[in-house]
Amino acid sequence: MIAYIVRRLLLLGPVLLGVSLASFGLLQLVPGDPAIILAGQEATQEVLAQIRHEHGLDQPRAVQYLVYLRNALRGNLGISIQSRQPVSTLIAERFPFTLRLAFLAILVSAVLGVVAGVIAATHRNSPLDLAALLASLAGISMPIFWLGLLAMLLFSVRLQWLPAGGSGTLAHLVLPAVVLGASSSAVIARMTRASMLEVLRQDYTRTARAKGVGERSVIYRHALKNAMIPILTVFGLEFGYNLGGAVLTETVFSLPGIGRLVVEGIFARDYPVVQGTMLVVATTFVLVNLLTDIAYAFVDPRIRYD
């Protein structure tokens, strides 16, 4: 197990190198000059040249990338062009909020998805199965920003049960977590249904029923436990997608998370902020996948990483 974890951590380097190179290259293709956005359209060429020199924007792009990479290896993600604060400080202030939102969203999606998947599998080809499939199809098809606006209109404007945006209490996270977890719950429900149908056809489930084991015990103690491996994989992937989907969710609900920080950085052509946040999100995504792989061994004792 230790050797496997070390190998996966060593593979983290090339992945993050590719992410840094891709983010740097894509930002260079975005039109606009950060110096003009920062100083304004009426700024003189001397002022613009000074701003470019302060932030290293007058250097060749290869030099800019190498400087960024060297600083990132030292834990320095640069200085924000817009706010002139360290990028690491901005991320440290906002990333915990996004993590809470992603955890709540994956919790909502896990409960809804697993329950819907189990019901659909145990009532195959019934109206319940059809309803679960239609609900999962709708959840996958609806864009997050559109679903967020509908949720705000219904639960905040019409019913006035929950706040429409902002932060500060748990109530402010309910609507964003449900909206963000809706798409994930649809994916988890479909995977749970497919995995449960495969397990329920196995010999040991028929043997358990023949021995007189109760149906609830067969489903939850035997079938669901053995069907968890592919479901855990989806959990890990969807958590990473929730970090990315938080960009739209936090923008719609005006939440002070890392997703909104990325949007603000893109509009301001704040290259250090965008590159730093993408690097942190990619690192979190890889580490979550590593924890998911480790969890396989605890769910299924047959799996060993030797």
**Residue 205 near residue 245 (C-beta atoms within 8 A):** no
Partners of 79 in beta bridges: 86
Please write the tens of the pLDDT for every residue from 96-132: 888 888 888 888 888 888 888 888 888 888 888 888 8
Residue 96 phi, psi dihedral angles, 5° rounding = -55, -35
Question: What's the pLDDT score for residue 1?
Answer: 65
Question: What's the pLDDT score for residue 98?
Answer: 86
Cα separations in angstroms, 64 against 68, 75, 268: 6, 17, 18
**Residue 117 near residue 123 (C-beta atoms within 8 A):** no
| The residue count for the chain | 306
Q: Which of 40-44, 144-148, 201-205, 263-267 has the lowest mean pLDDT?
A: 40-44
CA–CA gap between residue 74 and residue 128 (Å, rounded): 55
Question: What's the pLDDT score for residue 134?
Answer: 84
The residue with tokens 């939102």 is 101
Type of residue numbered 151: A
Please write the tens of the pLDDT for every residue from 248-276: 788 888 888 888 888 888 887 777 888 88
Mean pLDDT score of the chain:
79
Asked if the model's pLDDT at residue 147 lies above 60, the reply is: yes
Please write the tens of the pLDDT for every residue from 152-169: 888 888 888 888 777 777
Quickly state the pLDDT bin for 306 (edges 50, 70, 90).
Answer: low
Of 111, 146, 57, 105, whose CA–CA distance to 242 is shortest?
105
**Residue 228 near residue 298 (C-beta atoms within 8 A):** no
Question: What's the pLDDT score for residue 302?
Answer: 62
Task: Set out the domains of the chain in order of their start, with CATH numbers.
Answer: 96-268 (1.10.3720.10)
Of 147, 157, 113, 152, whose CA–CA distance to 248 is shortest?
147
**How far from the centroid of its chain's Cα atoms is residue 247's Cα?**
9
Question: What's the pLDDT score for residue 303?
Answer: 61
Question: What's the pLDDT score for residue 304?
Answer: 60
Asked if the model's pLDDT at residue 297 lies above 80, the reply is: no
**Residue 196 near residue 224 (C-beta atoms within 8 A):** yes
Question: What's the pLDDT score for residue 291?
Answer: 80
How many CB atoms sit inside 10 A of residue 121's CB? 24
- Of 43 and 279, the one with more pLDDT: 279
Q: Which of 5-14, 30-39, 110-119, 121-130 has the lowest mean pLDDT?
A: 30-39
Percent of the chain with pLDDT over 70: 92
pTM of the model: 0.77
Question: What's the pLDDT score for residue 165?
Answer: 72
- Of 194 and 8, the one with more pLDDT: 194
Please write the tens of the pLDDT for every residue from 67-95: 888 888 887 887 887 777 888 888 888 88
Please write the tens of the pLDDT for every residue from 167-179: 777 778 888 888 8
Question: What's the pLDDT score for residue 148?
Answer: 83
Question: What's the pLDDT score for residue 300?
Answer: 64
Helix/strand/coil (H/E/C) assignment for every residue in 174-243: HHHHHHHHHHHHHHHHHHHHHHHHHHHCCHHHHHHHHCCCCHHHHHHHHHHHHCHHHHHHHHHHHHHHHH
**Residue 184 near residue 238 (C-beta atoms within 8 A):** yes
SS3 125: coil
Question: For the chain, where are the alpha helices, taking DSSP H only?
Answer: 2-29, 34-39, 45-54, 61-73, 87-122, 127-141, 144-151, 171-200, 203-210, 215-217, 224-226, 228-252, 258-267, 271-299
Quickly state the pLDDT bin for 299 (edges 50, 70, 90).
Answer: low
Cα separations in angstroms, 151 against 156, 167, 179: 7, 17, 8
**How far from the centroid of its chain's Cα atoms is residue 16's Cα?**
16
Question: What's the pLDDT score for residue 123?
Answer: 82
Question: What's the pLDDT score for residue 301?
Answer: 61
The residue with tokens 């590159």 is 275
Partners of 86 in beta bridges: 79
**Residue 86 near residue 164 (C-beta atoms within 8 A):** no
What is the mean predicted confidence (pLDDT) over 12-27?
Answer: 79
Asked if the model's pLDDT at residue 305 lies above 60, the reply is: no
**Residue 25 near residue 61 (C-beta atoms within 8 A):** no
